[in-house]
């Protein structure tokens, strides 16, 4: 498909107020695009209008209360040239796997239905997937994953066990099924094409609407809980847990921008992974004012990790990924600036 450039209008669904989605909106606005977001309530949209007020009429929003409702996106897709679909189930615990799978799958299909019926100007859909749709939990640590891989294990678990399948397998299955459905529909089209972006544990500063630590998204909450934990609760089993891989939210957002702009990205899947880490690595890396020395410094370097190869994204999307230190420092500073992570008194130089 032809490349898309400013001042095109980009639609960000289905919760433009989410952690990653808000950064996607900001990144496109900074580039000079007009951004239209969908949110589930006017209060969420009004918050976005407030933080993006410097862009004037560059940001607008539609309220979509139920993204699986027929016609949910029909109005929102009119007059936009690109669509970014970031929606994902917010809950991974349910008695019925379909409570998680159907919103992900149904919302995706309803959006595509809207694009086909009412989004006559849409040239590209960028689908925010996850490395949960790539990884196979049964494979050994040290496995190297690329964007050619698919998670078939979690789907099998849900099919065989139903309500007894683990919460994470149900979540992973929802990501796989939604992405596969999107590709199936995209491959039928000649007017628009698709790009899939696969983040991992996403860290970095946050600009979405949260007013207390309990409302932090899962990725940031993990770091916050480590930094807030009592020393006796952080043993080596926790500090040296393997297979943690991260992406910086700003790099993930930029990947979405390039996924829209770069014609050659059409039809491709991209892993955005800045690297692997342990919580010991995090404690070793953060400045002393944010965390006290714990565990065995340096021991995280000997831990073997699963690898998510983001070479393709770095080359095709011209991504220069941030370091673990930069991402951690900026995340910790954000927590501190909100008053949730106090400076350690003993670290202050008198």
Distance CA 259, CA 266 (A): 8
- Per DSSP, 137 falls in state T
**Could you say which of 175, 188, 215, 230 is catalytic?**
175
**Known catalytic residue: 175?**
yes
Residue 342, classed as helix, strand or coil, is: coil
Within 13 Å, how many C-alpha atoms sit on residue 69's CB side? 11
Distance CA 184, CA 89 (A): 21
Run of H or E including 117: helix 98-118
The C-alpha angle with vertex 16 and arms to 123 and 40, in degrees rounded to 5, equals 115
Within 13 Å, how many C-alpha atoms sit on residue 56's CB side? 4
Distance CA 215, CA 213 (A): 5
Distance CA 98, CA 57 (A): 39
CB distance 45 to 61 below 8 Å: yes
Among 12, 112, 124, CA closest to 60? 12
Report the b/e string of 21-57 with b at 16+ CB within 10 A: bbbbbbbbbebebbbbbbbbeeebbebbeebbeebee
CB distance 163 to 96 below 8 Å: yes
CB distance 175 to 155 below 8 Å: no
Sheet holding 244-248, edge to edge: 201-203, 244-248, 275-277
CB distance 13 to 84 below 8 Å: yes
Query: Catalytic site residues?
Result: 175
């Amino acid at each position: 498909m032809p490349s898309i450039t400013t001042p095109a209008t980009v639609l960000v669904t289905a919760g433009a107020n989410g952690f990653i989605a808000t950064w996607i909106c900001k990144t496109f606005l900074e580039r000079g695009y007009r951004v239209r977001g969908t949110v589930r309530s006017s209060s969420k949209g009004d918050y976005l209008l407030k933080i993006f007020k410097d862009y004037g009429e560059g940001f607008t929003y539609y309220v979509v209360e139920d993204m699986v409702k027929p016609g949910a996106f029909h109005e929102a897709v009119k007059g936009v040239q690109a669509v970014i679909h970031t929606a994902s189930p917010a809950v991974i615990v349910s008695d019925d796997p379909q409570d998680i799978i159907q919103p992900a799958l149904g919302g995706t299909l309803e959006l595509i239905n809207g694009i086909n019926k009412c989004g006559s100007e849409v040239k590209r859909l960028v689908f925010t997937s996850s490395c949960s749709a790539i990884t196979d939990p049964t494979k050994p640590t040290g496995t190297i994953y690329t964007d050619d891989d698919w998670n078939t294990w979690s789907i099998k678990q849900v099919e065989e066990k139903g309500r007894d399948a683990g919460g994470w397998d149900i979540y992973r299955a929802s990501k796989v099924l939604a992405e596969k459905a999107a590709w199936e529909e995209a491959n039928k089209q000649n007017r628009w094409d698709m790009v899939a972006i696969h983040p991992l544990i996403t860290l970095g500063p946050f600009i979405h609407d949260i007013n207390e630590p309990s409302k932090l998204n899962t990725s940031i909450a993990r770091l916050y809980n480590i930094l807030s934990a009592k020393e006796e609760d952080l043993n080596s089993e926790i500090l040296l847990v393997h297979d943690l891989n991260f992406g910086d939210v700003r790099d993930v957002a930029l990947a979405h921008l390039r996924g829209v702009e770069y014609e050659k990205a059409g039809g491709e899947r991209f892993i955005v992974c800045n690297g692997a880490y342990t919580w010991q690595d995090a404690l070793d890396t953060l400045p002393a004012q944010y965390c006290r020395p714990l565990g065995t410094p340096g021991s995280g370097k000997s831990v073997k990790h699963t690898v998510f190869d983001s070479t393709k994204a770095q080359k095709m999307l011209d991504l220069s990924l941030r370091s673990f230190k930069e991402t951690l420092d900026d995340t910790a500073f954000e927590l501190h600036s909100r008053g949730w992570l106090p400076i350690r008194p003993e670290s202050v130089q008198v």
